[in-house]
């Protein structure tokens, strides 16, 4: 038998008819239940900035560590929902955690790193050392 390539838009498979189009799609789709927040890394002449988008997390949910020029941002959160009625008990547990690590260059001033949290965004400011900052162009007169 010759294998046949199938495009589900034009020729649906038998499993689509029986189980529906979304059968096992959550298992193969890596974007579903994504627990690693998106991160922006910015650089200007004075500093680096890391912005972590983590809605639903408070500043107390984050942990920031610095070890051997590696900055690690992590979080672990547990939520429990329990409902009890006359003849039923329902419990739902939710766990989420992530860890992101960033290698810092030698030009940063590790003692002046600061972090703030506002509106679901964790901002980490990593200043550069004074000797590493860009100096303005200087013209030297010839004598």
CATH of the domain at 72: 2.60.40.790
Asked if residue 109 is part of any domain, the answer here is yes
Q: What is the pLDDT of residue 13?
A: 54
Give the range of the structural domain holding residue 75, as residue numbers without chain letter: 34-128
| Tokens read off for 38 | 């998106």
Q: Give pLDDT tens digits for 6-59.
A: 444 445 555 555 555 554 554 554 444 456 889 999 999 899 999 999 888 888
Q: What is the pLDDT of residue 79?
A: 73
How many domains does one find in the chain? 1
Closest among 44, 55, 53, 41 to 104, alpha carbons compared: 41
Asked if residue 117 is part of any domain, the answer here is yes
Closest among 55, 42, 34 to 117, alpha carbons compared: 55
Q: How far apart are CA 21 and CA 133, in angstroms?
A: 55
Q: What is the pLDDT of residue 66?
A: 94
> The dihedral of CA 53, 54, 57, 59: what is its sign?
negative
Asked if residue 66 is part of any domain, the answer here is yes
Q: What share of the chain in percent tops pLDDT 70?
A: 72
Asked if residue 21 is part of any domain, the answer here is no
Q: Give pLDDT tens digits for 130-142.
A: 887 777 888 889 9
Closest among 69, 63, 71, 50 to 121, alpha carbons compared: 50
Q: What is the pLDDT of residue 92?
A: 73
Asked if residue 9 is part of any domain, the answer here is no
Alpha helices (H) in 11-133, listed in sequence order: 14-19, 25-28
Q: Give pLDDT tens digits for 74-118.
A: 998 877 777 776 776 777 777 778 899 999 999 999 999 999 999
| Tokens read off for 126 | 């990593």
**Whether 108 contacts 119, CB under 8 Å:** no
């Amino acid at each position: 038998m010759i294998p046949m390539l199938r495009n589900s838009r034009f020729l649906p498979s038998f499993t689509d008819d029986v189980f529906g189009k979304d059968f096992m799609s959550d298992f193969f789709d890596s974007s579903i239940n994504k627990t690693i927040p998106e991160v922006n890394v910015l650089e200007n002449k004075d500093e680096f900035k890391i912005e972590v988008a983590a809605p639903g997390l408070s500043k107390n949910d984050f942990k920031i560590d610095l070890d051997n020029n590696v900055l690690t941002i992590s979080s672990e959160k547990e939520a429990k929902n329990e409902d009890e009625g006359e003849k039923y008990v329902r419990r739902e547990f939710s766990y989420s955690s992530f860890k992101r690590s960033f290698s810092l260059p030698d030009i940063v001033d590790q003692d002046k790193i600061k972090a703030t949290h506002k509106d679901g965004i964790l901002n980490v400011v990593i200043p550069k050392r004074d000797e590493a900052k860009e100096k303005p162009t200087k013209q030297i007169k010839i004598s």
